[in-house]
Amino acid sequence: DKGYRSLIMGADTKVPIENGRFVTAINFDNAATTPPFVSVINEVNKFAPWYSSVHRGSGYKSRLSSDLFESARLRVLNFVNADPEKYTAIFVKNTTEALNKLSYCFYNNHKDCVILSSYMEHHSNDLPWRDKFKVEYIDITEEGRLQVSDLEKRLIKHKGKVKLVTITGASNVTGYKNPIHEIAALSHKYGAQICVDGAQLIPHSSIDMMPHTPLENIDFLAFSAHKMYAPFGTGVLIGPKDMFERGDPDYKGGGTVKIVTKDFVIWDEAPYREEAGSPNIIGVVALLAAINTLEAVSMENIESYEQELTGYAAEKIRHIPDITVYGDSYSKDDKVGIISFNIKGLHHEIVAEALSREVGIAVRNGCFCAQPYIQKILNLTSGDIKNIIDNAYFPRPGMVRISFGLYNSFEEIDKAINALQWITAHRYRYTEKYASFRRSR
Ligand code: PMP
């Protein structure tokens, strides 16, 4: 594991399994949430006696918290190479809140336009756009990759009407990375901006919002701290400052105004007008520590180590008879460490349950909040979907997902492969065993 394991708090925690024994937990559910860096918890503990209200007090501790909050903003911009003269970073709760906020702000800027999203989006980068805009979905190939040619077709079809292309940086189902700078150049060529849902990309790859030419710039970026080794409760929305200064903010309240009288309101400038209520300085301190540690390891090192892990796991898993790996399981270079699969004849819920209860391996199963993508990959018909709605087709279709972080090891993969081989070979034992299905999301 190249020593990265020691960066993680609780990497070797023991958990109970079915037979009453305790085993060292294996966490292959990093795409949902990562465990914290030790440095993150240390920084939070160090700062705990000092935290106080941000932008709201004259006491020493308030001034300290306010200064730290503002310097964190610059550090976050610097982490993704966004010029602070042009861009601002707004602290929010998570990626979902960031994308909802952006849809509100975007509506203030462009009322009657077309938004291009894609079939491979997480619901968080799909649903917030639907109620305000005409949304079209860029198609995917048979292997589940984004069809860039379909993007261009739609940009031409709606010439001048598409104002935003909103796309995931990496899929939380197949792990595919999208060519975000190529998409940016195409979008800009046809007069649209680009938003990247960075939730799955940010812990695995460096992100450069201003790479070579302005045509390739990323206009908006959203991500969550809890997927990059800091705790829940902090997310970031980055975008051009002026895009957040039209109309009213989505959340209104303390900290958002220049002046309020009984009769009128003058909203403050961005980012302040977009951060209603007392900000989460502890969460921002945690995010800052996570960024510092990621950079100390270097995103290039993380990317190459995780590619090795993914290639190793993909090669082994696709050789297990009766396991179907979704997407193109051969490539590893344009993917983050995510592998989704099913065992023939066993429901995904049972496989996930068996891995957890019998071997202490945590994975995720279901539709991963990306139902349209799963429906396409599994070739579900409208009849299948009607059956799901009517509940006659229960349990629901879905997949098992394993996802890696920088601290996972080849030995852990070997254990998971052994477990999957055993489960596959003894399928008949499991069909009855774990029938208590959770709600598959
Ligand atoms: N987008 C993608 C691609 C994701 O994987 C996730 C989390 N599963 C989200 C958005 C939403 O992130 P959050 O739950 O932190 O808002």
- The Å distance, Cα 82 to ligand 1 centre, comes to 22
Any atom of ligand 1 within 6 Å of the Cβ of 178: no
State how far the Cα of 298 lies from the Cα of 294, in Å rounded to an integer: 6
Nearest CA to ligand 1 atom 4: 199
Any atom of ligand 1 within 6 Å of the Cβ of 199: yes
Rounded to whole angstroms, what are the CA distances from 104 to 221, 274, 303? 15, 11, 34
- The Å distance, Cα 251 to ligand 1 centre, comes to 21
Any atom of ligand 1 within 6 Å of the Cβ of 96: yes
Quick one: pLDDT at residue 243? 97
Higher pLDDT, 296 or 437: 296
State how far the Cα of 42 lies from the Cα of 236, in Å rounded to an integer: 22
State how far the Cα of 401 lies from the Cα of 425, in Å rounded to an integer: 19
Any atom of ligand 1 within 6 Å of the Cβ of 200: yes
- The Å distance, Cα 47 to ligand 1 centre, comes to 28
Any atom of ligand 1 within 6 Å of the Cβ of 172: yes
Q: Which atom of ligand 1 is nearest to the CA of 95?
A: 16
Q: Which region among 92-96, 104-108, 182-186, 325-329 has the lowest average model confidence (pLDDT)?
A: 325-329
Any atom of ligand 1 within 6 Å of the Cβ of 168: yes
What residues does each domain of the chain span?
4-30+298-433, 41-295
State how far the Cα of 18 lies from the Cα of 16, in Å rounded to an integer: 7
Tell if the pTM clears 0.90, that is, is over it: yes
- The Å distance, Cα 124 to ligand 1 centre, comes to 7
Dihedral angle sign, alpha carbons of residues 380, 383, 387, 389: positive
Q: Which atom of ligand 1 is nearest to the CA of 170?
A: 3
CATH of domain 41-295: 3.40.640.10
Please check whether residue 97 is in contact with residue 232, taking contact to mean a CB–CB distance below 8 angstroms: no
- The Å distance, Cα 199 to ligand 1 centre, comes to 5
Higher pLDDT, 434 or 300: 300
Q: What percent of the chain has pLDDT over 90?
A: 89
Range 107-113 average pLDDT: 95
- The Å distance, Cα 115 to ligand 1 centre, comes to 20
Any atom of ligand 1 within 6 Å of the Cβ of 307: no
Q: What percent of the chain has pLDDT over 70?
A: 96
Quick one: pLDDT at residue 435? 54
Of the CA atoms within 13 Å of residue 169, those in its CB half-sphere come to 22
- The Å distance, Cα 122 to ligand 1 centre, comes to 7
Range 160-186 average pLDDT: 97
Backbone angles phi, psi at 229, to 5 degrees: 75, 20
Nearest CA to ligand 1 atom 6: 199
Q: Which atom of ligand 1 is nearest to the CA of 232?
A: 15
Range 418-440 average pLDDT: 75
In this prediction, residue 390 has a pLDDT band, given cuts at 50, 70 and 90, of confident
Q: Which atom of ligand 1 is nearest to the CA of 171?
A: 3
Range 371-383 average pLDDT: 94
Higher pLDDT, 152 or 330: 152
Q: Which two tokens stand for residue 304?
A: 């190459």
Q: What angle do CA 98, 396, 342 make, to 5 degrees?
A: 90
Query: Residue 434 pLDDT more than 90?
Result: no
The amino acid at 39 = S
Candidate of 227, 228, 367, 403 to mutate for ligand 1, largest count of ligand atoms within 8 Å of Cβ: 227
Query: Residue 441 pLDDT more than 60?
Result: no
Question: Which 3 state secondary structure label does DSSP give 323?
Answer: strand
Quick one: pLDDT at residue 392? 66
pLDDT tens digits for 48-79? 999 999 999 899 999 999 999 999 999 999 99
Higher pLDDT, 19 or 105: 105
Q: Which ranges of 48-164 does DSSP label H, i.e. alpha helix?
A: 60-79, 95-109, 127-130, 148-157
Closest CA to 203 of 100, 125, 306: 306
pLDDT tens digits for 119-140? 999 999 999 999 999 999 999 9
Please check whether residue 118 is in contact with residue 180, taking contact to mean a CB–CB distance below 8 angstroms: no
In this prediction, residue 19 has a pLDDT band, given cuts at 50, 70 and 90, of confident
State how far the Cα of 305 lies from the Cα of 301, in Å rounded to an integer: 6
Range 339-344 average pLDDT: 96
Candidate of 30, 118, 122 to mutate for ligand 1, largest count of ligand atoms within 8 Å of Cβ: 122
Query: Residue 323 pLDDT more than 90?
Result: yes
In this prediction, residue 328 has a pLDDT band, given cuts at 50, 70 and 90, of confident
Any atom of ligand 1 within 6 Å of the Cβ of 124: yes
Q: Which two tokens stand for residue 41?
A: 């918890």
Q: For residue 279, is the peptide bond before it cis, meaning its omega torsion is within 30 degrees of 0? A: no
DSSP 211-224: -SSGGG---EEEEE
In the CATH scheme, what is the homologous superfamily, with its name and number, of domain 4-30+298-433?
Aspartate Aminotransferase, domain 1 (3.90.1150.10)
Q: Which two tokens stand for residue 404?
A: 């890696």
Q: Which of 105, 113, 367, 369 is labelled catalytic?
A: 369
pLDDT tens digits for 400-427? 999 999 999 999 999 999 999 999 999 8
pLDDT winner (highest mean) among 240-254, 319-333, 376-390, 391-405: 240-254
Show Cβ contacts of residue 115 under 8 Å, excluding neighbours closer than 6 positions.
106, 129, 133, 134, 135, 136, 162, 163, 164, 165, 166
* Residue 105 is a catalytic residue: no
Range 37-46 average pLDDT: 98
pLDDT tens digits for 199-246? 999 999 999 999 989 999 999 999 999 999 999 999 999 999 999 999
Query: Residue 318 pLDDT more than 80?
Result: yes
Query: Residue 25 pLDDT more than 80?
Result: yes
Query: Residue 432 pLDDT more than 70?
Result: no
What ipTM is given for this predicted complex? 0.99
Closest CA to 203 of 273, 121, 287: 287
In 3-state terms, the chain is what percent helix, strand and coil (to 5)? Answer: 40, 20, 40
Torsion of CA 322, 367, 380, 430, to 10 degrees: 40
The mean pLDDT value of the chain amounts to 94
